[in-house]
Amino acid sequence: MSKESKLTTDAKELAQLTREHGRKLASGDVLPAIGFGTYALPDGTDAVKAVAQAVLCGYRSFDCAAFYGNESLVGRGLRLGASKAELKREDFFVTSKVWPTQLGYQKTMDAFFKSLNDLDVDYMDLYLIHWPANARSHENWNELNLSTWKAMVQLYEEGYVRSIGVSNFKEHHLRSLLDTRVPPMVNQLEVHPGFSQQSLRQFCRMMGIVVEGWSPFGRARILQHEILQQLSQKYQRAPTQICLRFALQLGVVPLPKATNMNHMRDNLQIFDFELESSDMELLLSLDRDQIGFSGEDSDLLTFS
């Protein structure tokens, strides 16, 4: 068996595990338990190669965004990986997001179809509002979010996207959207040891919103912390795997990024161990110091 054939065989098993452990959305679709982040991938053909390698390793969920500036490259990578692994479009869960400068009904519609074209897919599995309009930037921030959401709902009801949601929305940003006929199904948040956003996650759970977690390694700042190092030794797992397992046990779908194939595979191999409840509490205690927090606050950021 060739190396590539073995990768494809192993990938099928890992892909199946991500689906079995995935989160069912209000739409009825299943969001795979781990996604592949595409922010700041290498340029050009290296990005295409990284995405194709991720497919061969077993990733089936790909987190994209117009802001990342690489959706056409990601689309090429998905097609290359699908060809090598003999996969179809329906085997993938593709996400994109509308950037804050494109909020509002018509701008959101235009941004969506541009992403659809750049990724070269005929539908999106999940479409998100990347950041909410906030009071610092807009007097009518709530109305702007609602007009954006109107476009999202229309895209959903017309079948262009199978599920819709938001990213970086706090409770007060979510409130009015929850009163619409199609409430958000996903909220993508920064979640990692040192910044687990417990109260917001709990609110989302009560509202039936599935949480995805970006920056699951706290921009690598958390990985050298003594608690992560201790748990790495205890479980004989890499600190990155401890972080991903932490997210999984919180009910969060983590979105790691990797360009090294060994790291890609390691990030998927987290279904055969479990962190003890006392160790989960230890990791949650790191919130006190907000270790690894990006500093990006959706109430304070401005976009131009």
User: For residues 59 and 94, what is the distance between their CA atoms, to the nearest angstrom?
Assistant: 11
Task: Please tell me the predicted confidence (pLDDT) of residue 5.
Answer: 52
DSSP for 82-105, please give it.
Answer: HHHHT--GGG-EEEEEE-GGG-SH
Per-residue pLDDT of the chain (304 residues; tens, 9 = 90+): 555 555 555 889 999 999 999 999 999 999 999 999 999 999 999 999 999 999 999 999 999 999 999 999 999 999 999 999 999 999 999 999 999 999 999 999 999 999 999 999 999 999 999 999 999 999 999 999 999 999 999 999 999 999 999 999 999 999 999 999 999 999 999 999 999 999 999 999 999 999 999 999 999 999 999 999 999 999 999 999 999 999 999 999 999 999 999 999 999 999 999 999 999 999 999 999 999 999 999 999 999 7
Active site residue 68: yes
* CB-count burial class (<10 Å; 0-12, 13-18, 19+) for 106: exposed
User: For residues 12 and 145, what is the distance between their CA atoms, to the nearest angstrom?
Assistant: 39
Half-sphere exposure (CA, 13 Å, Cβ side) for 154? 14
Beta bridge partners of 129: 98, 166
User: For residues 199 and 171, what is the distance between their CA atoms, to the nearest angstrom?
Assistant: 9
Residue given tokens 């700041």 in the structure block: 40
DSSP class of residue 160? Answer: S
* CB-count burial class (<10 Å; 0-12, 13-18, 19+) for 114: middle
Q: Are strands 186-190 and 161-167 parallel, antiparallel or unpaired?
A: parallel
265 with 238: CB under 8 angstroms? no
Task: Please tell me the predicted confidence (pLDDT) of residue 9.
Answer: 59
Catalytic residue among 59, 68, 127, 156: 68
User: For residues 85 and 101, what is the distance between their CA atoms, to the nearest angstrom?
Assistant: 37
Task: Please tell me the predicted confidence (pLDDT) of residue 304.
Answer: 78
Residue given tokens 């950041």 in the structure block: 131
Task: Please tell me the predicted confidence (pLDDT) of residue 124.
Answer: 98
Task: Please tell me the predicted confidence (pLDDT) of residue 6.
Answer: 55
Handedness of CA 48, 50, 52, 54 (dihedral sign): negative
pTM (predicted TM-score): 0.96
